[in-house]
Structure 1
Amino acid sequence: GSYAEDFLKGFNGILQTDGYTGYQKAPCHAHALCWAHARRYFIEAIPPDLPKEDLLGSICKKAIERINELFAIDKGLAGLTKEEREEQRLQLEKEKLEAYFAWLQDIELNVLPKSKLGKAVQYSLSHKEALQAFLKSGNAALSNNICERAIRNFTIGRKNWLFSDSPKGAKASAAV
């Protein structure tokens, strides 16, 4: 967290991240979390051997559908100005978000807290404010996937660069 705090010193915009707690120390106007990460928790909670007919009525399926609906609505707002997007999000998505979080609160007591499903439910509920931050700014995105794709080469490279155990090897890797 201290690295994020130092790096972002003086930043006063919207910080869009995953749920890493170290970012809570970073100064920003608003902290927006990624809905793709929230959805991924529900995807990972689906047992691999679950028959398709059982998946249809499952909590995971319902949560994924609700989150996908937010993405579909927001995709339709892509061509709007910041102000128009803010207005449309409040009209089209705010009630859906309120319903989503109310639904999660209703089912929270019926899921095992340490199960994958329990962790998926808890992730959304414990990050409710940051997951709703996109409503306050038309510049905030629902996910940080674009940023994650941009840094993917570095995260993959990080593993490969472990083998650069000499300056000569590092220069050769950099050249390649």
Structure 2
Amino acid sequence: MKHSKKTNRPAKFWPVMGFATLAGMRSMSGPAFLSHCLARQSPAGLIGSPLRLLRKPGVATVLKVLAGGEMMADKLPNAPNRTAPPVLLGRVLSGALVGAAWYRSRDGSALGGGLLGGLVAGAATFASYALRTGISERAGVPVALVGVGEDALVLAGGAALLRGQRPAQDHWRPM
């Protein structure tokens, strides 16, 4: 059954919003959850693309370890501010990566997905920073403790995002 681009849009757009939001909150979480998803689905849209590496289970494992390490390092007193230009750039690039890979995996434009993912990750970086510092100030609790709650939100959000994903119809093949 053929679908118009309009009916396929949510299958590309909303998952990128989710993965890129995770990337804005924790830069390695978006790619880790996305790679886990792609490794299970092996979408054909990534064949021939450098982004196909995200389909490999070993890459998914490495990204998960990096995401866990980032969650621990984030609580250290010398952790850089997420809105500092180099850190913000990393989060935007992480969002761009997940957006490009997801769109490409669904036979869409990697450029369009990358732009969407980068913008969403940048916005999520500032929004999550404002929430974290605001909650810390209003509740009178250390920022690191609020960060633990943020980690729980990232993990729960990522798990929910994964549960909602299905292989693209007629667009996946085993590795």
* Structure number with higher relative contact order (C-alpha < 8 Å, ≥ 6 residues apart): 2
Please identify which structure carries the higher strand content. 1
TM-score, with normalisation over the residues of structure 1?
Answer: 0.34
Please identify which structure carries the higher helix content. 2
**Bigger Rg over Cα:** 1
TM-score, with normalisation over the residues of structure 2?
Answer: 0.34
